[in-house]
Amino acid sequence: MPPAFARPTKEGKVPFKVATLDKPCFTSYKIWGDVTKTSPLVVVHGGPAGTFKSALGAIPFWTEFGLPVVMYDQIGCGESTLLPEKYDDESFWRPPLFIAELNNVLDILQLRNGFYLFGEDWSATLAAEFASSRPRGLKKLVLAAPYGSTALHQISIDHRLSELPCEVQRAAKRAHDTGDYKSESYKQARLAWFKHVLLRVLPWAPELEDIILHSGIVEHPVRQIMIGSSEFHSEGSLRDWNIVDQLHKINVPTLMYSGEFDTSYDIASRPFFERIPKVRWVVFPGVGHGVMADPTPQSARCLRILMDFLLKPAASDEHDESVSAKTMRETKSISLPCSDTKSQMFIKHDYVSIREVSNDTSARRRYSLVLLRVLTSLMTALALVWLLCEVLPSGWLVVPASESNDQVAAMGLWTRQTHPRLNLAQRR
């Protein structure tokens, strides 16, 4: 079995009491590693209506770096309790349900002593809303392609759709206007969309195309009621979701990343960067939403950057001693800026460039001090030059006798005799 699909160390189901339901519910979970020895990475899978299988790219955190990983299927999906009786109740399928489930998983698995949290796409926004409540035990937060609100996400989707050929745009609009999402033209438009924003390494294998067209993920009842029938329009229970005003409450170091062609275009993700006090934002060029899944060098870079962020102790945190120094030495890490600096990085092929942001007051203060020192040094140097010109006696510059004044001037040097200002003073 390949390391990326290593068997879980432990798996099972935890009871989940839903306040508005009389029936018992449960959440299916899987654990890689020993969570009693090292703070684990808790992964909230994408969707809505995905399963932990969509987040298998996180398993190398355990197989390659020794960081335990916890995954679970969200309620209504995968191996957790399915609730078909609620498929027509839009008010039921709201973020508070999934936040309550996450809290329940953390409590029953006894992870409150310390954990890292990872969310992608819809679950990144869910994880951010959860983090804004400042939950006990949360140490660091990783957000892959988050969006601040459904409205901002819609703007982002419209922008990405405008990059596709006209026939794709027309097929998407026609399906939205008519409600016919089963036409062949719409299926092909959806396929073109995923090739543009999800996995950009072409050609796709036939089985991958089959998964997109026939897996039924998009048609899942939970996704239908939360997002709607279209990939290009959000019309379900999340249509008015907005967490922008809560982001400033997140008080743990946060790393957010996205692909250059991600569905969460700049405008959708930027509120996280502007409002979270301690945040870093990494954008990977040439790839889309599936940064860690696309078979490009960016996936390995992404993994290294995430590990560097997670395992590098923050000033206020204790480092997990069980994650050995040997593991860190063997890991080719990419150095990130200190945790109190707000930075955006654009990962190129062979280097990391860091751009500081002017709204970071601590960075502005440091720059002001540096500028003051530079100006002070410059003024001191100018004063010394003036003293040399006005005060020192003649003959202060010794020129070899073989060199005439004209030759010295040609070399860009001035003697007391050839200096225009000093010569004028002599003539007086």
DSSP string of 135-179?
Answer: -TTEEEEEEES--SBHHHHHHHHHHHHHTS-HHHHHHHHHHHHH-
Which range is most confident: 15-19, 321-325, 380-384, 418-422? 15-19
For 16-41, write each residue's pLDDT tens digit: 999 889 999 999 999 999 999 999 99
412 vs 256, residue with greater confidence: 256
Rounded mean pLDDT of 79-107? 96
Query: What one-character-per-residue DSSP string does 366-417 give?
Result: HHHHHHHHHHHHHHHHHHHHHHHHHTSPTT-S---TTS-HHHHHHTT---TT
Q: Taking the mean position of all CA atoms in its chain, how far away is CA 16?
A: 30
5 pLDDT band (50/70/90 cuts)?
low
Mean pLDDT of the chain: 80
Rounded mean pLDDT of 202-222? 77
And the tokens for 331?
């890991």
Q: Which helix (H) or strand (E) holds 193?
A: helix 184-197
Q: What percent of the chain has pLDDT over 70?
A: 74
Question: What is the model's pLDDT at position 372?
Answer: 72
Assign domain 3-359 to its CATH superfamily.
Alpha/Beta hydrolase fold, catalytic domain (3.40.50.1820)
Burial of 120 (0-12, 13-18, 19+ CB in 10 A): buried
Rounded mean pLDDT of 87-107? 96
**Could you tell me which of 48, 25, 46 has the C-alpha nearest to residue 236?**
48
Query: What one-character-per-residue DSSP string does 308-324 give?
Result: HHHHSPPTTS---TTS-
Question: What is the model's pLDDT at position 216?
Answer: 65
Task: Assign residue 286 a region (left: φ > 0; alpha: ψ between -120 and 50; beta: otherwise).
Answer: left
Rounded mean pLDDT of 374-403? 63
Residue count of the chain, please give it. Answer: 428
Residue 6 to residue 34: CA distance in whole angstroms: 14
73 pLDDT band (50/70/90 cuts)?
very high
pLDDT at 341 over 60: no
Residue 84 to residue 90: CA distance in whole angstroms: 12
pTM: 0.75
**At 29, is the secondary structure helix, strand, or coil?**
strand
Question: What is the model's pLDDT at position 343?
Answer: 59
Question: What is the model's pLDDT at position 373?
Answer: 75
Domain positions in the chain are: 3-359, 364-427
Task: Assign residue 294 a region (left: φ > 0; alpha: ψ between -120 and 50; beta: otherwise).
Answer: beta
Q: Taking the mean position of all CA atoms in its chain, how far away is CA 228?
A: 26
Question: What is the model's pLDDT at position 293?
Answer: 80
pLDDT at 358 over 70: no
Question: What is the model's pLDDT at position 89?
Answer: 94
DSSP 242: B
* Least confident piece of the model among 248-262, 334-348, 364-378: 334-348
Q: Which helix (H) or strand (E) holds 104?
A: helix 95-108
Question: What is the model's pLDDT at position 169?
Answer: 96
Question: What is the model's pLDDT at position 35?
Answer: 95
pLDDT at 47 over 50: yes
322 pLDDT band (50/70/90 cuts)?
very low
Question: What is the model's pLDDT at position 251?
Answer: 97
pLDDT at 98 over 90: yes
Q: What percent of the chain has pLDDT over 90?
A: 52
**Could you tell me which of 175, 95, 154 has the C-alpha nearest to residue 130?**
95
206 pLDDT band (50/70/90 cuts)?
confident
